Amino acid sequence: MSDLVPPDPLPVSSPQRAELERRADERQERIRLLRQVALSLVLALALAARIVLVGG
Amino acid sequence: MIAVDIVLLAFVAAGAIPPVVGVYTFVLASVHVLHLRRETVAPVFPRVAIVVPAWNEAAVLGRTLDRLAALEYPREALRVYVVDDASTDATPELVREKAAEHPGLIFHLRREHGGQGKAHTINHGLRSIGADGWYEAILIIDADVILTAQSLRRMTRHFASEDVGAVTAYIKEGSRPENYLNRFVAFEYVTAQAVARRAQNVLGAQACLAGGAQLLTRASLEAVGARIDTSTLAEDTATTFKVQLAGRRVVFDPTAVVWAEEPRDIAGLWKQRLRWGRGNVQITRAFGRVWLRRRNGALGGIGFAAIWFSTTMMPVFMTLSSAGLLGLFAVDRSLSGHAFRLLLGVNVVTYLFITLSAISIDPVTGRRTWREAILFPGVVSLLFIAYAAYPPVFNHLKPSAAVVTAVALFAYAWQAGCMLCAALLGRLETVPVARVAVPPLLYVIGYGPLLAAMTAAAYVKELRGAEMRWEKTQKSGKIGEALR
């Protein structure tokens, strides 16, 4: 995040600030996507383990 | 006989539709970043008129107005109009006091004869402020909501795209001190707003501009008749559909956070959701020509219909599932067992995926509501899910054949019976000595079944043609001071 936060607060009407906020939003959404992918993999592994251990 | 089996199996499969569509919604929400990359946003500050319909809102309105005055938005581009629907409490005095405190920002519009409901009150405000041509966008909010400082400019930045006609905020449950029901609602809003509305952004069609904070451009409001729909109890949803059918996009901004106080008891929640549920039935009928017709764009797509109907028809799917299982039990007991295990298998996977995903999408709310997230389907359903997830845990019980039969019948009936039990909780709440038992019982029966029961009650009211009354949700103003 440090590269996205300006040293001094920019005015709310600043296009630079809007762009920084947009990039920060995008970064948060990418993190969410990665978490979802990781969660899906863990669940898929758990499901596979369950099928191996006790059958379908 | 095979035909009967197939029909009954199809009934059972209906029970899997809502959780499967739930997973589809979460998958769409996960790729919201793709939607963000397509979006054009820029610092745009149209002249915004904020319309606050108010009827006896003295307990909550002062703080709402103070927060509006603190918005990060150019003061010269902001006006707040409180449309006082013939309040009989201290609302008029409060608004006059705030108007004096913030001259040129807060205005008091008074209706001497009110009581027609929120949509009529908003329309009175729109008529009053529309004539002078000052405003370029209109933000309609509830009198009790707390807008975070950034929320409005986060919403208006989407108007950098000319095809965006309306923007909705992320409404979060903000009651403090909170009780068990507030936490259930808080978690529900993660799935119904943070997740479902992200998914709808990806699909390109929004189901509803949140009534608590809906921003429309003047052009899109005028395209739908310059007034809010008064023919249904879901005026916000009707506006959302009309704006999109008029060719403009509606988008959700999850960073525009608005806090709202939600009901603290089942009676209050029931009243609110009955209104929403009836409104959704009316919308489904009123926009009958929208569904599954591609000429209506994403609004007529399969994905949007799947999300809409999996929610609005939840009680139907649950009842069909129960009827299918019990029917199969009567004609082919072994087949009913296989079908139920398959249904439970789907439930295990979707429950884990949906619950963990919801917590991960809004971790702050997730930390606050993790118990309610886990117990959302109720302890009873969770026991069945646990059995499906890992049957050996239950092996040591060694029940008799009669017990197995009784448990199977109970489990099959529970798919729909849970709604009845949840509905009875509302009655129990009215008995003073039994009221204390309601919270633990809701954890046992489940908040999900309660939502389905309220939707079913909305069908009944609508089928009976009950009078459409706007029953206001009581608010106390107990929204946490620390909320930002």
Residue B430: name the closest of B265, B274, B290 by CA.
Answer: B265
Contact B236, B211 (CB under 8 A): yes
Tell whether B176 lies on the interface with A, counting CB pairs under 8 A: no
Instruction: Give the integer Cα–Cα distance in Å for B30 and B25.
Output: 9
Q: How far is A45 from chain B (nearest CA, A)?
A: 12
Instruction: Give the integer Cα–Cα distance in Å for B245 and B259.
Output: 29
Instruction: Give the integer Cα–Cα distance in Å for B191 and B354.
Output: 9
Tell whether B395 lies on the interface with A, counting CB pairs under 8 A: no
Question: Starting from the edge strand earliest in sequence, which strands make up the sheet with B249-260, in order?
Answer: B106-111, B78-85, B48-54, B137-141, B213-217, B164-173, B249-260, B146-147
Contacts of A54 in chain B (CB under 8 A): 390-392
Kindly give, in sequence order, each residue whose CB lies less than 8 Å from that of residue B49, ignoring residues fewer than 6 positions away.
Answer: B79, B80, B81, B129, B134, B135, B137, B138, B139
Instruction: Give the integer Cα–Cα distance in Å for B406 and B126.
Output: 60
Which alpha helices (DSSP H) does chain A contain, by range?
A: 15-54
Instruction: Give the integer Cα–Cα distance in Å for B197 and B157.
Output: 18
Which alpha helices (DSSP H) does B332-400 contain, by range?
A: 333-361, 363-374, 379-389
What local confidence, expressed as pLDDT, does residue B112 receive?
85
CB-based contact A26 B74, cutoff 8 Å: no
Out of A15, A39, A43, closest to residue B43 by CB: A15
- The verdict on whether omega for the bond into residue A7 sits within 30 degrees of 0, i.e. cis, is no
CB-based contact B43 A18, cutoff 8 Å: yes
Could you tell me the sign of the dihedral formed by the alpha carbons of B262, B266, B268, B271, in that order? positive
What local confidence, expressed as pLDDT, does residue B482 receive?
47
Residue B272 exposure: Cα atoms within 13 Å on the Cβ side: 16
What local confidence, expressed as pLDDT, does residue B300 receive?
97
Residues B403-418 as b or e (16 or more Cβ within 10 Å = b): eeeeebeebbbbbbbb
pLDDT tops 60 at residue A6: no
CB-based contact B36 A22, cutoff 8 Å: yes
Residue B347: name the closest of B17, B116, B95 by CA.
Answer: B17
Higher pLDDT, B308 or A16: B308
What local confidence, expressed as pLDDT, does residue B65 receive?
97
Out of B73, B360, B390, closest to residue A39 by CB: B360
- Kindly write down the DSSP assignment for every residue of B250-294, as one continuous string: EEEEEEEEEEE---SSHHHHHHHHHHHHHHHHHHHHHTTTTTT-G
Tens digits of residue pLDDT in B39-81 = 999 999 999 999 999 999 999 999 999 999 999 999 999 999 9
What local confidence, expressed as pLDDT, does residue A4 receive?
58
Out of A18, A33, A54, closest to residue B30 by CB: A33
Q: How far is B43 from chain A (nearest CA, A)?
A: 5
Nearest CA in chain A to B348: A47
Tell whether B361 lies on the interface with A, counting CB pairs under 8 A: yes
CB-based contact A54 B392, cutoff 8 Å: yes
Residue B306: name the closest of B34, B20, B11, B13 by CA.
Answer: B20
Contact B208, B159 (CB under 8 A): no
Contacts of A25 in chain B (CB under 8 A): 36, 255
The ipTM, to two decimals, is: 0.85
Q: For chain B, list residues with pLDDT below 70.
A: 468-484
Contacts of A34 in chain B (CB under 8 A): none
Rounded to the nearest angstrom, the gap between the alpha carbon of residue B462 and the centroid of all alpha carbons in its chain is 19
Q: How far is A36 from chain B (nearest CA, A)?
A: 7
List, as ranges, residues 100-159 from B with C-beta within 8 Å of A.
Answer: 153-154, 157
- Kindly write down the DSSP assignment for every residue of B286-339, as one continuous string: HTTTTTT-GGGGGGGSHHHHHHHHHHHTHHHHHHHHHHHHHHHHHH-HHHHHHH
* CA R_g for chain A: 20
Long-range Cβ pairs for the range A43-51 (8 Å, 24+): A43/B349, A43/B352, A43/B353, A43/B356, A46/B352, A47/B349, A50/B389, A50/B390
Tens digits of residue pLDDT in B327-367 = 999 999 999 999 999 999 999 999 999 999 999 999 999 99
Out of B33, B352, B390, closest to residue A33 by CB: B33
Question: Which site among A13, A32, A42 would you substitute to test the B interface, given the most B Cβ atoms closer than 10 Å to its Cβ?
Answer: A32
Q: Is B79 helix (H, G, I), strand (E, B) or coil?
A: strand
Contact B421, B449 (CB under 8 A): yes
CB-based contact A29 B32, cutoff 8 Å: yes
CB-based contact B353 A43, cutoff 8 Å: yes
Tell whether B353 lies on the interface with A, counting CB pairs under 8 A: yes
